[in-house]
Amino acid sequence: MSALVQSLRVVGYSARNAAADFAATYTWRSWTFGWVGRMLSQVVFFTLAGRVLGAPDQARSRFIGNAVMTCVVEAMMVVASSVWERRAGTLPLLVASPADLAPVFFGRSLQWIASGVATSSIALLALGPLFGIDWTAVQIPAVVLLQLLTAVGSYCFGLVLGVLVLNAPQLRNIASNVAYLAMMSFCGIQVPVDYWPAPIRLLAAVLPVTYGVRAMTALSAGGPAGAVWRPAAAVLLLGAGWLAAAFVAFRVFAERGRRDGSLEFGQ
C-alpha cells in the first residue's frame, strides 16, 4: 500500500474520533441555535460596528471577511483538540505505532472543518442579501468550495500551532484565541491589510485566510475569474505548505519527546 493511501486511511479512521467528539459536544438543536446563532450574531455585530465607526463603504467587505472568518475561528479549535490527545494518554501509543502522527492529528479534529464550513456558508448565503450581496445559483458551489479551502488551509496552520502547544497544554485555548484574533485583525477582515506595518503584512501574507477573504470578495462582486482563482490557488499552496510543516513538526515533536522523556502515559 502506498504511503499516501495509508495516510488517507489513517485520516479516515481518525476522523471517527472527530465525529464522536462532535456528537458529544452538540445536539442538532444546540448546534443550530447555540453555535450557528452565536456566530451569525457575531458576523452582524462586526459588520455593523464598522459602519458605526465611520466606514460605511466597507460594510460589504467587512461582512465577507467576518463571515469567512467564522469557519477559520472554528478551524483553529484544532489547536485545543490536538491537546486532548495528551489528556487521553494516547501519545506514547501513537509514537510507538508505525504510523506518522500528522495524518492522525489531521483526521482527529475534522469536525471543526465540517461545522465551520456549514456555519460560514449559512452566514454568507443567508445574511448576504441583507448587506446587498445576492448570490446566483452557480456561485453557491463556489462559495462552499472556497470556504472549504480556507478552512482546511487555516486548519493546517492550526495543526502546526497544535504541535507547539502539545508540550504546553495549559496554553491550548489562549493559543487558538490569539491566533484567530490576530487573523481577524491583520488579515484584511476588519481593516485592509495595507493598514498595518510591513512585518505584520508579512505575517498576513503566509496565512491562508488572507487570500480566502480576497477570493470570496472578488466572487461576491462578480469580478473576473482570475481575481477569484488566483487567491484561491494561494490558499491551496499555503495550506499545503502548512501541512508539510505539520508533518515535520510532528516528527520533531516525537523525537524530542523520546529524548526528554515527555511522552508520558498519564498526566
Partner 1 sequence: MTAVEAVALRRTYDLGRGRGGGQREVVALHALDFRVDEGTVHGLLGPNGAGKTTLCKILATVLLPTSGGVRVFGNDVVSRTRQVRQSVGVVFGGERGLYSRLTARQNLHYWCALYGLPRRALLARTEMLLARVGLSERSDEKVDGFSRGMKQRLHLARGLVGDPRLLLLDEPTTGMDPVAARDFRLLVAELRAEGRTILLTTHDMAEAEAVCDRVTLIDGGRALATEHPRALGALVSRNERIEFDSPTADALPGLPALPGVVAVTTLSPGRYRVETTATEATKAVIGLLLDRGATSLTTTRPGLEEVYLKLIGNRGMEVGR
Cβ atoms of 159 and 105 within 8 Å: the answer is yes
Q: Binding partner 1 by CB under 8 A: which of 171, 241, 251, 257?
A: 257
Q: Cβ closer to partner 1: 12 or 192?
A: 12
114 binds partner 1 (CB under 8 A): no
| Residues of this chain, 5-64, that bind partner 1 according to CB under 8 A | 6, 9-10, 12-14, 16-17, 20-21, 23-24
Residue 191 CA to residue 217 CA, distance in Å, equals 14
Is-contact 218 90, C-beta < 8 A? no
Q: Tell me the residue length of the chain.
A: 267
Cell of 146: 472556497
Does 4 help bind partner 1 (rule: CB under 8 A)? Answer: no
CB of 93 vs partner 1, minimal distance in Å: 5
What gap in Å lies between CA 100 and CA 118, rounded to an integer?
29
Task: Answer yes or no whether residue 252 interacts with partner 1 by CB under 8 A.
Answer: no
Eight-state DSSP code of residue 31: I
Does residue number 90 form part of the binding site for partner 1 (CB under 8 A)? Answer: yes
Segment 94 to 113, residues that bind partner 1, using CB under 8 A: 94-99, 104
Q: What distance in Å separates the CA atoms of residue 175 and residue 161, rounded to the nearest whole number?
A: 8
Q: List residues binding partner 1 (CB under 8 A).
A: 1, 6, 9-10, 12-14, 16-17, 20-21, 23-24, 88-90, 92-99, 104, 257-261, 263, 265-266
